[in-house]
Amino acid sequence: MNKKIIGLVSLIAVMGLILAPALALARPTVTLSPSATAPPALNVDEIISNIISYMYGFIIVVVVLMAMISAYMFVTAGGNPEQVTKARNWLMYALIGLAIAVLARGIVTLVLTMIYGS
């Protein structure tokens, strides 16, 4: 039990180290207008595009985490067929989720390109 807790904590620490540069280089998506009294100009299309981009990034992070958990389960299975099957299912679900996310974003981009042009 203690090995699982230590493994989980180390996994979270490694993910934090991997994501730290991306978070440090993040920039705000809404720019403020030069006037201190005027509200920022918000475009609905831009807001929806930003939300979709953040959701896509979140899905990618979840897929990577699921793949890492699956790899951890493979390594710690110790020849137990039930645990190996469980790890294989986690990896399969992660890859299916990635495929659905990529196809969804591609289809939306294709439809918007067909409607609005380039």
- As a whole number of Å, the CA-based R_g of the chain is 20
Q: What is the pLDDT of residues 22-59, one digit of tens each?
A: 655 655 555 555 556 666 677 777 777 778 888 888 88
Largest Cα separation within the chain, whole Å, is: 66
Q: What is the pTM of this model?
A: 0.57
Q: What is the pLDDT of residues 72-87, one digit of tens each?
A: 898 888 888 999 999 9
Task: Please determine, for residue 89, whether its predicted confidence score (pLDDT) is greater than 70.
Answer: yes
Domain ranges of the chain: 43-116
